[in-house]
Amino acid sequence: MNDETPYHVVDDSGRHAVTDRGGRTVMVCSDQRSALHYVSLLSQAFRQGYQSGYRDAKNQSKN
């Protein structure tokens, strides 16, 4: 698992669980390709939300 990636795939007996850094399962997919796709989408959404929140906080501190 990459510490910079907020989501990752855990394979277990044909199940592919998308989990967060805290080990909580977000969803389970039947194939790895779908799970990796969701990891990519969730990670992108996380980064965009983080960056947006950072910009908002930075702009508020200037006011």
Q: What is the torsional sign of CA 5, 10, 11, 16?
A: negative
Q: What is the reported pLDDT for 3?
A: 57
The pTM (predicted TM-score) of the whole model is 0.74
Which residue ranges make up each domain of the chain?
1-49
pLDDT tens for the chain, 63 residues long, are: 445 789 999 999 999 999 999 999 999 999 999 999 999 999 999 988 877 776 777 677 776
Q: What is the reported pLDDT for 1?
A: 47
Q: Which residues of 22-60 are buried (b: 16+ CB within 10 A; e: fewer)?
A: eeeeeeebeeeeebeebbeebbeeeeeeeeeeeeeeeee
